[in-house]
A = this chain, B = another copy of it.
Amino acid sequence: MALASTQAAQARRQLVLNLFIYPGGHHEAGWRYPGARPERLLDITFYQDLARSAEAAKLDAVFFADGPAQVDNIRYASRFRLEPLTWLSAIAAATTHIGLIGTASTTYYEPYNLARLYASLDHLSGGRAGWNIVTTAVPQASANFGLAETPSHAERYARAAEFVDVVTKLWDSWEDDALVADPVSGLFADDSKIHPIEHVGRHYRVKGALNTPRIPQGRPVYVQAGSSDDGRSFAARYAEAIFTAHQTVESAKAFYADIKKQAAGLGRNPDHVKILPGISPYIGSTEAEARQLHEAFSDLIQPEYSISQLKQITGVDFSGHPLNGVVELDAFKDAGPAKLVASRFQLVVDIVRREKPTLRQLIDRLAGARGHYVVVGTPEKIADEIQHWFESGAADGFNVMPPWYAAGFDLFASQVVPILRKRGLFREDYTGRTLREHYGLPRPQSQFAEAARATA
């Protein structure tokens, strides 16, 4: 009987929970909140401690966003970048189970270099690497790579598809049993199981093989975060986890249904594509306390920064606009979202249409988590929201985006996670060691091993 109920609990669909780490916290004023430690923003032990807290709470992974340019207005906010591969390697050394997801750009990396970096992260972490595949929308990046202009959206996604093909071949190029390392016979590697990939495509020519044995996970976990039509079909084809931003459960449900359907249509198992919206929790022991916490953050906002962010997302400059003046939908009518992130633009327009906010209110809505879902309330309320999204086909789990560190996450770990656990929605402990095991994803075979077998 006890056994049966344990098995039932194990069989129950489990939430995925990642900790999304952004220097200084996800609220744009997070670095200013009392208890935030701005003097430790470049101190690796601060992030190692955070990852250890996430691991103690049995989270699936920590996640770092990235982009190869200084984009945000750095004058008012802690918006520099931590290079994810190096940072995660040092975090790997301080942890044993938690997954390590880093972002890297298909537009601004060479496939051979990227394949090596992630292979190495997977080796040194014992199979915990995830790659958030982005094409880098921000126009500032291209000028750091000798390009006169940013490749178009379509061009970036075409390159991305070929890029993923190339690195997949590289990660497959050593079959699992190519490494022998037998000191007695003197055979180090069976070179008949190491395959030059001989890739020749429209954008890349890469001979291979990779110069490192196959990694514990076979391939890192493929994560994606595009929301455009191209982005969604790319994700449906390649991604094993998808990060996404939604303000409402309805919007998330539509996205969820679309992606799962597309994935199934491509012959994939929809369970192997985890949909993970962002959630930024402001937690209080009462509703009133939570609202106070949220207001304390609002009070720290610097409108110059928020207005520069709003311009970055929408292309519209609100510098002259009174903070207490209502934002008109008309303000966006001439903003061509062509070169911007269309889904993020749409999200702002939807807020304006739905809520008719003043500029101050709009800024406030975005300051918390750049358009991700913000929940203000008691631990129970936050757990209720998570469960509701999870059980109504809006999410397979969440990217948790604390407004500030470390306490902003510790509250979630100590107050919300135990409730989810009690409800049987989240693991008591890790049952595996790799990120694939945490996410319930299969370990891919090398395509060369299969080909070899098929022709044998």
Contact = CB atoms under 8 A, between A and B. Distances in A.
A144 B208 contact: yes
Contact of A31 (B48, B87, B181): B181
A145 B36 CA distance: 43
Contact of A207 (B77, B93, B143): B143
Contacts of A120: 82-83, 86-87
A359 interface: no
Interface string A189-201: 1110010000000
A31 B75 contact: no
Contacts of A90: 89-90, 92-93, 124
Nearest to A215: B42
Given A75-B187, A90-B93, A68 B113 contact: yes
Contact of A144 (B82, B112, B117, B143): B112
A406 B137 CA distance: 47
A113 B124 contact: no
Interface string A66-97: 01111101111111111101110111111000
B76 A211 contact: no
B80 A213 contact: yes
B181 A85 contact: no
Nearest to A94: B93
Contacts of A267: none
Contacts of A32: 183, 186
A116 interface: yes
Contact of A191 (B75, B93, B108): B75
A413 interface: no
Contacts of A39: 181
A367 to B, nearest CB: 13
Given A80-B213, A89-B86, A181-B31, A189 B74 contact: yes
B188 A86 contact: no
A67 B206 CA distance: 15
Interface string A241-270: 000000000000000000000000000000
A49 interface: no
A121 interface: yes
A415 interface: no
Contact of A113 (B108, B116, B302): B108
A22 to B, nearest CB: 13
Contact of A211 (B80, B85, B92): B80
22 contacts: A31-B183, A36-B183, A38-B188, A44-B93, A48-B93, A68-B113, A70-B209, A70-B211, A74-B188, A74-B191, A75-B187, A75-B189, A76-B188, A79-B188, A81-B116, A83-B117, A86-B124, A87-B120, A90-B90, A93-B93, A93-B94, A108-B113
Interface of A: 29, 31-33, 36, 38-39, 41-42, 44, 48, 67-71, 73-83, 85-87, 89-94, 108-110, 112-113, 116-117, 119-121, 123-124, 140, 143-146, 181-183, 186-191, 194, 204-213, 300, 302
Given A90-B92, A143-B207, A146-B204, 14 more contacts: A38-B183, A41-B181, A71-B211, A74-B189, A75-B191, A76-B187, A76-B188, A77-B188, A80-B211, A82-B120, A86-B89, A89-B93, A90-B93, A144-B206
